[in-house]
Amino acid sequence: MSLDQRNDTIRLMVLDGDGIGPEIVRGTLTVLDAVADRFGLQFSFDKLPIGFEALEREGTSFPEKIMAAVPKCDGIILGPVDHAAYPPAAEGGLNPSGELRKRLELYANIRPALSRPGFPPPCGKPVDLVVVRENTEGFYADRSMFLGNGEFMPTPDIAMSLRKITREGSTRIAIAAFELARRRPRKHLTAVHKANVLRIGDGLFLECCREVSKSYPDISYDEKIVDAMAALLIRDSSKFDVIVTTNMFGDILSDQASELSGSLGLAASLNAGKNSAVAQAQHGSAPDIAGQDIANPSSLIGSAAMLLGWLGERRSDERLNVAAEAIEHALNVVISVPEKRTRDLGGNIGTQAFSSFVAQALIDQC
């Protein structure tokens, strides 16, 4: 059903986060306002406090009213959070990103690494790949246990970490990756693993990828061991299209690929599940530069574009898909001009000025 048929407003929950979060969120909303004008869309931004702001005001960095508001929203824009600096969870220091991921079952973390025209990548060759990262399992301590933490110390001198890999989790992330590969021109998918050492866990992950591949004969499928993959990305990232892997490997390889494509500051990211999606910058909250209007908002702007694309597919609304592509094009236009770049890209433009340039590039598109 299209937006015209629904006569609906797109309601987006907006969570500023910590550090540079409020600044890059503000810049992103500037771009979305331009999108609304350009494509005749209607957005409603429902802002709620999280992070240190909420901790100070409400005693928790993730108030329960956020989850209560989720069913009323079509998507979420989440600024970066400084959860490592929060107090213990028992004292209200909950990780907003983790709470949303777990409670909304956002199992797919989709991270494109895309070179921008006029901004040569450090690797020397253009990069256009997507890392599809399993987002709910793996070695991360908050994703392996129903109750408790996946890391523990039997004695003061021994630290142990548990990793969880399930058939359900591996199968659904493989399906998500193959579906994405089917929509891309090269139709190539690489499963990345360490099954030569982690024979049981990564063996199960590979078994699921191979089984899913049988349903996608149109997709070229291969496999790489993770350490070899890290080297191959440096040698020639242009050879890869869609990469699917487990949680920790995907986290590391996506940051590597983003730097090789140009900059982590340009790297968009979408956390998606069956019914919900969160646009979230791939980078952190950078508290050392907060409040100075020098942060690059490109990552969150690109993440918001991914969210519109996700909504466009679900609603069968081509305007949202076109709007997502237009944001990407506007980013390309602005980044290609050295005088319009932020400091991390070699320019001297502030966060809000850069966002305004992107918004104007959107409006100027024919």
Active-site choice (8, 142, 255, 344): 255
Residues with Cβ < 8 Å from 217, sequence gap 6 or more?
none
User: For 261-328, what is the HEC assignment?
Assistant: HCCHHHCCCEEECCCCEEEECCCCCCHHHCCCCCCCCHHHHHHHHHHHHHHHHHHCCHHHHHHHHHHH
Judge whether 7 and 42 are in contact, CB under 8 Å.
no
The verdict on whether 317 is a catalytic residue reads no
Residue 236: active-site member: no
Evaluate whether 75 touches 277 at the Cβ level (below 8 Å).
Answer: yes
How far apart are the C-alpha atoms of 351 and 294, rounded to whole Å?
5
Q: In the block, which residue shows the tokens 């797919």?
A: 108
95, two tokens: 């990780």
CA distance 345 to 116: 12
User: Does the annotation mark 255 as catalytic?
Assistant: yes
- Give the DSSP letter string of 202-262: HHHHHHHHHHHHTT-TTSEEEEEEHHHHHHHHHHHGGG--EEEE-HHHHHHHHHHHHHHHT
Per the residue annotation, which of 194, 202, 221, 317 is the catalytic one? 194
Say which of 16, 82, 241, 251 is annotated catalytic.
251
The secondary structure of 18-73 as a DSSP string is STTHHHHHHHHHHHHHHHHHHHT--EEEEE---HHHHHHHHSSSS-THHHHHGGG-
The single residue of 227, 236, 274, 364 carrying the catalytic annotation is: 227
* CB contact burial 76-109 (16+ within 10 A = b; e otherwise): bbbbbbbbeebeebeebbbbbbbbbbeebbbbbb
Residue of 140, 224, 241, 340 with catalytic role = 140
Ramachandran bin of 85, using left for φ above 0, alpha for ψ from -120 to 50, beta for the remaining angles: alpha
Q: Which residues are catalytic?
A: 140, 194, 227, 251, 255
